Amino acid sequence: MKQPMKKDKGTYHHGNLADSLLDAVDEIASQFGLEAVTLRACAKKIGVSPSSAFRHYADKRDLLTAFATRALLQLSATLSAANARATKDNNDALLAVGVAYVKFAIDKPAFFRAMWNKETLYTQDERYVAAADELSAHLKRGFADTIIDADPDALSPEELLAWSSVHGLANLFVDGPVGDQQSRKQKLAMATDMLNALKPALVSRSE
C-alpha cells in the first residue's frame, strides 16, 4: 500500500530537513545512481539521525517520489522560463524550449532519471500526480506554447514529435551512447542542430 509523503516540515539546524534530504538524494544519485539512495544514506549525508529523516519520508520510495515531484516541477519552470526569455528577446521559442529540455537533463541527470522511474515511485501520490499533470499540460499546450496547437488537452502529432525528439536525445546523452566524448557545449550544439532539422515538420507560433 502506498505510503504518503509526510507533511511535517519542521526546521532543523540545516534549515528545512525535508528539502535537505532531497538535496542529498541529488548528490548521491548523481554520483552513484538512484539505486544507491536510501533514507539512512541521505540522513548521514546531511548529518542527522535516520529517525529524523523518517519523520518526513516513510521509506525510500516516498523519498524518491518527493524527489521526482521536485524534478517535474523544476522542468516545468525551466520550460516556461526559456519560452519567456525567448519571447522577450524575440528569439526562437521552439528552439529555446527544446534546448532547455536537453540542458535540464544534462545538468540534472538524477532529476531526469527519477521523473518517470515508476517502479521506484508512488505514482498515485497527489503531489506527484499534480506535478506530472502540470508538465504534461505544458507539453500538450503547443510544446510549452511554441507551436500552433488546436487542442490544449491532447498531444498532437507535432507536439509528440517535438517532445519525443528532445526527450530521446536527452536520454541518449544521459544514459546512452551519444555524446560520450562530447563537451556540454557540443551536446547543446547537437540539440540545436536536431531541432533546426525538426522545424520543417512543425509550425512555430512565431511563423
pLDDT in tens, 161-172: 999 999 999 999
- Binning the chain into helix, strand and coil, the percentages to the nearest 5 are 70, 5, 30
CB 52 within 8 A of CB 17: yes
Q: Check residue 9 and give its pLDDT.
A: 37
By C-alpha distance, which of 133, 94, 8, 52 is closest to 24?
52
d(CA 75, CA 100): 9
Residues in a beta bridge with 11: 16
User: Grid coordinates standing for 152?
Assistant: 490544449
Of the chain, the percentage scoring pLDDT greater than 70 comes to: 91
Q: Which residues pair with 16 in a beta bridge?
A: 11
Q: What is the DSSP string of 82-151?
A: HHHHHHHTT--HHHHHHHHHHHHHHH-HHHHHHTT-GGGS-TT-HHHHHHHHHHHHHHHTHHHHTB--S-
pLDDT at position 150, please? 86
**Helix H or strand E segment including 16:** strand 15-16
pLDDT at 179: 82
pLDDT in tens, 142-190: 999 999 988 988 999 999 999 999 999 999 999 989 988 899 999 999 9
Q: Which three cell numbers stand for residue 126?
A: 497527489
Of 39-43, 77-81, 88-92, 152-156, the one with minimum mean pLDDT is: 152-156
Q: 15 — phi, psi (to 5°)?
A: 100, -135
pLDDT category of residue 193 using cuts at 50, 70 and 90: very high
What average pLDDT does this structure show over 79-99?
A: 96
pLDDT band at 132 (very low <50, low <70, confident <90, very high): very high
Domain ranges of the chain: 61-201
pTM: 0.88
Residues 6+ apart with CB under 8 A from 77: none
Place of cell 505510503: 3
Residues 18-46 have pLDDT tens digits of 999 999 999 999 999 999 999 999 999 99
Contacts (Cβ under 8 Å, ≥6 apart) of 106: 170, 173, 174, 184, 187, 188
- What CA–CA distance (Å, rounded) separates 99 from 107? 12
Q: Which of 127, 131, 124 is nearest to 71 (CA)?
A: 131
Query: In the CATH scheme, what is the code of domain 61-201?
Result: 1.10.357.10
- The pLDDT-based confidence of 205 (bands split at 50, 70, 90) is low
Mean pLDDT across the chain: 90
Over range 55-79, report the average pLDDT: 96
CB 58, CB 39: distance < 8 Å = no
Q: Please write the tens of the pLDDT for every residue from 50-64.
A: 999 999 999 999 999
Q: Considering only CA atoms, give the Rg of the chain.
A: 18
> CA–CA separation, 38 vs 41, rounded Å?
5
Nine-digit cell string for 52: 529524523
